[in-house]
Amino acid sequence: MSQTEREVRVRFAPSPTGPLHIGGVRTALYNYLFARQHGGDMILRIEDTDSTRFVPGAEDYINEALAWLGIGIDEGVRKGGKYGPYKQSERRDIYREHVKMLLDNDKAYIAFDTPAELEAKRAEIPNFQYDASTRMSMRNSLTLPKEEVDRLIADGEKYVVRFKVEPGRDVEVNDLLRGKVTINSSILDDKVLYKSADDLPTYHLANIVDDHLMEITHVIRGEEWLPSAPLHVLLYEAFGWSDTAPSFVHLPLLLKPDGKGKLSKRDGDRLGFPVFPLEWHPEGGEVSSGYRESGYLPEAVVNFLALLGWNPGDDSEIMSMDQLIEKFDLAHCSRSGARFDYEKGRWFNHEYLQQLPDDQLAQLFKPVLRDNGIDPDNFSDDYIARACGLVKGRIYFVRDLWDQAKFFFKEPDSYNPKDIKKRWSEDTPRIMGELIETLRGIDDFSCASAEPIVLDWIASKGYHLGNVMNAFRLAVVGECKGPHMFDITELLGKDETIRRINLAVERINA
């Protein structure tokens, strides 16, 4: 069956060696968008063959991060499926079988060289590489008698299995993004495919065997794997699987905000933005910030990441997951690295918060209220939602609501000194007293009713509009900022508005 006739199956295959980097999240997202657009399946496979780098909690973190972002998994460690197990450490028997296939067909050999022996060779030969030019001078099954090889294995001598790369061949990698990439096999070393020490394969063997057995049609991964692609092509050939080998796509790197080098956690720490989707709590180590805990909505993170290295071919920026799936096209992916513009990420979060219904925003705001000593149960859901709606145009994160809306939930405990100096004169207490009497006479305290009455009173007295209204705002809010003044007073109500003016006159004059 040709590649175009096969059902699309892609995989995201992270290693549980720590938190999932935002670059890895983008790779997972592009795999997901591609699979969904083509009606295919998304597989999550855990590549835990490097036992020395395994970090407890990392696998759970990966699953939780993808779930939070809405990147759905069709088969995987938590989902199951007919191609399992989906954790490489549980597939040892499968790998042993395929190592034997390569050995039996003279495509690989057993090597007993110790680390010390390899180090000696590196000292002896500049730029030493274990390959066709050096393998016959090493201690391996190509140079030792079979009896000696069998004895060493029986005695428990540690060994590795190396792939036997034939030199002088042009190896072609067809990349859907970069076109044809040709590498001469003479520059490739005889990569280690299996280690007896932990009875596990290396990435190179495991990912080829798994991708074949799981019927993966497209391998969409970071460009750091491009140098390994020729080896992978040769492995498919060695197994006789060339006809069903997947198509390759090597995505560009995410770059530092200044565009100079690969994005790292240090860049985030230095500039104050997360590089992980969720907070990471290493055992006995420093907590790393996450997008979720920093107040980002998952939809905003997905939208932001999708446009780092891909464009929809038009001017669209705000796109839901469904819209991204509809528009996604590998042909519109960049071949060069994408600069990580974290300020753009903040902008996306701002835009998504504006789209959020006020009642949903209110539910997100309730924990922030509690953190600031306010019991949200003392206020109706409608009150909290209306307060959020009045100030949300000014926020980038839910936590910003407190600074913008706290005066709706507690009277000012201080008044901005600069505003007092500019907006509060010796006549202000008398004018505020007159304002209170005007407000008391208003039956309908809605913005539409109260505003013209107060403005008419100011005009009739010949007072300066800006001075009166800013003093009014200072008394009620505590500073000269916030949404439309009569929207504020409508929500606070007449009694609370008047009480606050009286308090301000008493406190500021004192």
Q: Which residues are catalytic?
A: 265
| CA atoms lying within 13 Å on the CB side of residue 287 | 7
Residue 171 · residue 158 · CB < 8 Å: no
Reported as type and span, the H/E element at residue 12 is strand 9-12
Residue 180 · residue 174 · CB < 8 Å: yes
Residue 26 · residue 303 · CB < 8 Å: no
- Cβ atoms within 10 A of the Cβ of 173, count? 19
- Cβ atoms within 10 A of the Cβ of 10, count? 27
421-454 exposure pattern, b = at least 16 Cβ within 10 A, e = fewer: eebbeeebbebbeebbebbeeeeebebeebbeeb
Q: What does the alpha-carbon distance between residue 9 and residue 219 come to, in Å, rounded to a whole number? A: 9
Q: Cis link prior to 85 (omega < 30° from 0)?
A: yes
DSSP 237-258: HHHT-GGGPPEEEEEPPEEPTT
Burial of 272 (0-12, 13-18, 19+ CB in 10 A): exposed
3-state secondary structure of 339: strand
Q: What does the alpha-carbon distance between residue 259 and residue 206 come to, in Å, rounded to a whole number? A: 34
Rounded alpha-carbon distances, angstroms, from residue 199 to 14, 300, 308: 20, 43, 39
